[in-house]
Amino acid sequence: MRTYEAGDITLQRVREYVWEIPREGEMNVPARVLASESLLDEISDDKTLEQLKNTTHLPGIRKHALCMPDGHQGYGFPVGGVAGIDAENGCISPGAVGYDINCGVRLLRTNLAYSDIRGREEELVDALFDAIPSGLGGGGIFEGTRADIEAILEDGMEWALENGYAVPEDLAHCEDEGRRPEADADAVSQKAKDRGKVQVGSLGSGNHFLEVQRVTDVFLEDVAEEFGLEEDQIVVMIHCGSRGLGHQVCTDYLREIEQAHQGLLASLPDKELAAAPAGSQLAEEYYGAMCAAINFAWVNRQLIMHRTREVFEDVFDRSWEEMEMELLYDVAHNIAKKEVHEIDGEDQDLYVHRKGATRAFPAGRPELPPAYADVGQPVLIPGSMGSGSYVLRGGERSLEETFGSTAHGAGRLMSRTEAKNTFWGEDVQDELRDQQHVYVKAQSGATVAEEAPGVYKDVDEVVNVSDALGIGDKVARTYPVCNIKG
């Protein structure tokens, strides 16, 4: 059997693109990495494998802990990590969800062609940047009352519909129709609500962005037709999450869980994996607060999409309905959902933790919206500012291999500090504009440097692994036209 040595961790090759850390010692299950050898070289360059192995110690974890092809080191649990944990006798871990709860991606399609945009990129990027709040701190499209925030947390995109920021078709094309019914606004601290109150409808900073793209390649024509995609079409990708509210929810519950469940914490190799036993009061409260933050993030992206429609109306002097600016789909990362999966031939309720990973359900799964029930779930994989992004559909093997999950992006190669020491933001902007006709606008040059194309893994290779394993099938590829960042 072929092996791969990464320090004191040995991985065995199960088959092409599947590597396993065998169960040993106090590990409850093996750990698996889904990657090519070149991606594995990058994944093994930090603490990703150590964190993945540590994850196998969580009580109630089933089958194996997983790292997707875009995996890299995170807080406790690697980014790109997936774990299915018994929802009755296991646990739930905020560190295995992440700070930016429901940091996700949505794709807005249009009937515009690239020729409609060509020559107007700067006008469009300036208009979008001026209209959509971005960067650290407060400032959003909507600032309401305490009652408004409570309603957003409880009702998600239903609130947006009732308040004129959405149409029914938007909800029909969003994961879970844009609302987690288990949300409990009372489980969210006032500090978290205050942070969220001034950030509804804002991109934030870091790797969050709004990007106008053109479809350059179609791989599965029948599926692309179902998704409403064709070559040369203009689409808009939005990537952001629950802002300060989600971060505060994670912080609050990590501290509480660390104090209340010290016995469980002492049994884990890393305190950053702090978890609440399934069925405990803190597990239930965290799940309700997390679902509320998920709802907040969906509303956040919805308001940004609403404003994007208005900007396109102003720039192109046509209604968004005439331009057929319709939501293709919205997918969530950084979540733990109660889902039913087959374990040893029997259905079992699991908390499926997806941290920097995307749900990728195949056709026939009951959670899918009617529009995609027969074709499979759209999966959105953003690349960097200088590379393509991808639209996939949930693969037939995803449930068996990954609890219905795949990668969520290209995955970082460099830390933000290393990126700023390597790249100069203004140079990156100039090169993208002059050499690749990609127009980027951000609050600072440092943000551009942190997100330079060279900071990320090869998104083509990440997606090819997903496609080859049958967990996410390539449907279409897009390429940046213009991009705004915090």
For 135: left if phi > 0, alpha if psi spans -120 to 50, otherwise beta; the answer is left
pLDDT at res. 451:
85
Nearest to 253 by CA among 300, 297, 301, 191: 191
Both tokens assigned to 303: 């308001």
- Asked whether the beta carbons of 33 and 22 are under 8 A apart, the reply is no
Note whether 423 and 451 are within 8 A (CB): no
* Helix H or strand E encompassing 407: strand 405-407
Single-letter amino acid, residue 339: E
In a domain, 473, yes or no: yes
pLDDT of residue 307: 98
Rg for the chain, CA atoms, rounded: 21
In a domain, 471, yes or no: yes
Question: Tokens 């599926």 identify what position?
Answer: 223
List alpha helices for 45-180, DSSP H: 48-55, 114-117, 121-131, 146-155, 157-162, 168-172
- What gap in Å lies between CA 98 and CA 272, rounded to an integer? 11
Hey, is 415 helix, strand or coil? coil
Give the number of other Cβ atoms within 10 Å of residue 404's Cβ.
26
Active site residues per annotation: 408
- Tell me the C-alpha distance between 79 and 74, whole Å: 5
Question: CATH number, domain at 295?
Answer: 3.90.1860.10
Binding site per annotation, positions: 100, 207-211, 239, 333-334, 382-385, 389, 408-411, 485
Quote the pTM value: 0.96
Distance, in Å, from the CA atom of 23 to the CA atom of 40, rounded to the nearest integer, reads: 19
Q: What is the pLDDT of residue 138?
A: 72
Which residues lie below 8 Å from residue 453, measured CB to CB, with a gap of 6+?
384, 385, 386, 387, 428, 432
Q: How many CA atoms lie within 13 A of 468 on its CB side?
A: 14
Cβ neighbourhood burial of 7 (10 Å; 0-12, 13-18, 19+): exposed
Tell whether 18 is covered by a domain: no
The span from the CA of 326 to the CA of 229, in Å, is: 11
For residue 463, give the H/E element and its range. helix 459-469
- For the chain, how many structural domains are there in total? 1
pLDDT (0 to 100) of residue 128:
97
- Which among 365, 368, 362 is positioned nearest to 394, based on CA atoms? 362
Domain assignment present for residue 384? The answer is yes
List the beta strands (DSSP E) in 195-232: 209-218
Cα(291)–Cα(179) distance, rounded to whole angstroms? 8
Q: Which residues of 270-280 are buried (b: 16+ CB within 10 A; e: fewer)?
A: bebbbbbbbeb
Which segments of 113-270 does DSSP mark as H helices, in order?
Answer: 114-117, 121-131, 146-155, 157-162, 168-172, 190-197, 221-227, 243-260, 262-266
323 lies in a domain?
yes
Which tokens hold the place of 315?
């720039």
Q: What angle do CA 165, 170, 173 make, to 5 degrees?
A: 160
pLDDT at 272: 94
Q: How many CA atoms lie within 13 A of 351 on its CB side?
A: 32
CA triple 290-260-191, angle to 5 deg:
45
> Are the C-beta atoms of 361 and 337 separated by less than 8 Å?
no
Domain annotation covers residue 26? no
Residue 420 to residue 249: CA distance in whole angstroms: 29
> What length does the chain have?
486
Give the largest CA-CA distance in the chain.
Answer: 65
Domain span holding position 220:
103-413+456-485
Annotated binding site for GMP: 207-211, 333-334, 382-385, 389, 408-411, 485
Q: What is the dihedral of CA 197, 202, 207, 212, to 10 degrees?
A: 160
Is 63 within a domain?
Answer: no
Going from the C-alpha of 231 to that of each of 56, 112, 225, 464, 475, the distances in angstroms are: 43, 11, 11, 20, 11
Q: Is 378 helix (H, G, I), strand (E, B) or coil?
A: strand
For tokens 């009732």, the residue is 162
> 10-residue block means of pLDDT along the chain (486 residues)?
92 97 97 96 93 98 97 94 98 96 98 97 96 87 93 98 98 96 98 96 91 98 98 98 97 97 95 97 98 98 98 98 98 96 96 97 95 96 91 98 95 83 85 87 86 86 97 98 92
Query: Helices 281-316 & 190-197, crossing angle to 10 degrees?
Result: 0
Q: Which of 329, 291, 280, 357 is nearest to 96 (CA)?
A: 357
364, part of any domain: yes
Give the residue from 287, 251, 254 showing the smallest Cα distance to 268. 254
DSSP tag of 59: T
Sign, Cα dihedral of 103, 109, 112, 114: positive
